[in-house]
Amino acid sequence: MIRSIRGAVAALLLCAIPSFGADYTIKVEKTEPPKEVAEAARKLLGEQCIQFLDGGKLLAEVWFRKEVPAKATDAQIKNGLTFQEVPQTTLLGAVRTHEEMGDYKKHKVKPGVYTMRLAFQPMDGDHMGTAPYAEFAILVPVRFDDGKPTLEPEALHKLGNRSSGTGHPGVWLLFPMSGKDLNQPPSLKKKENNHGVLFVTQPVTVDGKKAVIGIGLTLIGFSPSA
C-alpha cells in the first residue's frame, strides 16, 4: 500500500512510501559532499544533500553534481534531454550509505561512500526483460574512483563489481522524468512494480545553452529477474 506524497515546506520535502512494512521518506539539507570523494569529483558536486530515511532512521545521503554535461542538438534540448545525451560513465553524483542496502539486482551494498556513474545496459539476451529501462547508475567505492570525467565502460563495470562484491556491478535503476515534473523540488514517488524513485531536476549546459535534465534514482525496488 502506498500513501500519497506529503507536502513540501520551504526547502524541506517529505514523502512517504510504505514498503515491506516500513515508511521511507526523503529530507533535503544543505551539507558539503563527503570528503572521501576524490577532489576532482567532489568539486563537481552540489551542497544539496538528499537524505533517505526509514521511519526517521537515516539510510543514505545523496549528492548530485552541480551541472550535468550533455551533447545535444537544439531540437533535443527543445524536446527534453534524456540520458542518451549524456556521455556514458559520466559522474552523476555520490552517495553515503549508513546502513546495508540492496541494489537493483538484490546485491548487498555495504555502508560506505560511493560515486554514481551513468551506464547503459547491454542490449543482449542476458539482459532482456530484466529492467523497464536501460539506464543505470553504477556505484563505485570512492577509494577506487579518482574522479575522471569519464571512464572506459568496461573499466567502470569492473570498478562497480567492488560495490556489490560479486561479478556484477552494484547498480541502481534510472527512471526517465516526465516534463511536468521538471523544475520541481526533489520527490520520492511510487512507480510501476512498487519501485520507489527519487526524482531530481539537474542543470545542464550544452554549447553555452542552459537546459535541465530529470534524474530518477531507484532507491526501493528490484529487477524482476533478481
Q: Which residue has the cell 534524474?
A: 215
pLDDT tier for residue 74 given thresholds of 50, 70 and 90: very high
Q: How far apart are CA 7 and CA 15, in angstroms?
A: 8
Q: Which residues contact 208 (CB under 8 A, 6 or more apart)?
A: none
Amino acid at 75: A
- Split at pLDDT 50, 70, 90, the class of 57 is very high
pLDDT tier for residue 226 given thresholds of 50, 70 and 90: low
Give the C-alpha separation, 93 to 117, whole Å. 7
Residues 6+ apart with CB under 8 A from 84: none
- The rounded distance, in Å, linking the Cα atoms of 24 and 32 is 23
The amino acid sitting at 128 is: M
- pLDDT of the residue at 132: 83
Check residue 133 and report its DSSP letter.
S
Ramachandran angles phi, psi of 96, nearest 5°: -110, 115
Q: Which three cell numbers stand for residue 17?
A: 512510501
Are 138 and 145 in contact, with CB atoms under 8 Å apart? no
| pTM to 2 decimal places | 0.86
Q: What are phi and psi of 216, to 5 degrees?
A: -115, 105
Contact 71, 60 (CB under 8 A): no
Say if CB 89 and CB 118 are below 8 A apart: yes
pLDDT tens digits for 153-209?
A: 999 999 999 999 888 899 999 999 988 889 999 999 988 888 899 999 999 989 888
Do 94 and 63 touch, CB atoms closer than 8 A?
Answer: yes
Most confident of 6-20, 28-42, 164-178, 208-222: 28-42
Phi, psi (deg, nearest 5) at residue 31 = -145, 140
Q: Give the three cell numbers for residue 161.
A: 563489481
* Closest to 72 (Cα-Cα) out of 64, 62, 84, 61: 84
CA 67, CA 203: separation in Å to the nearest integer?
5
Write the CB contacts of 10 (distance below 8 Å, at least 6 apart in sequence).
none
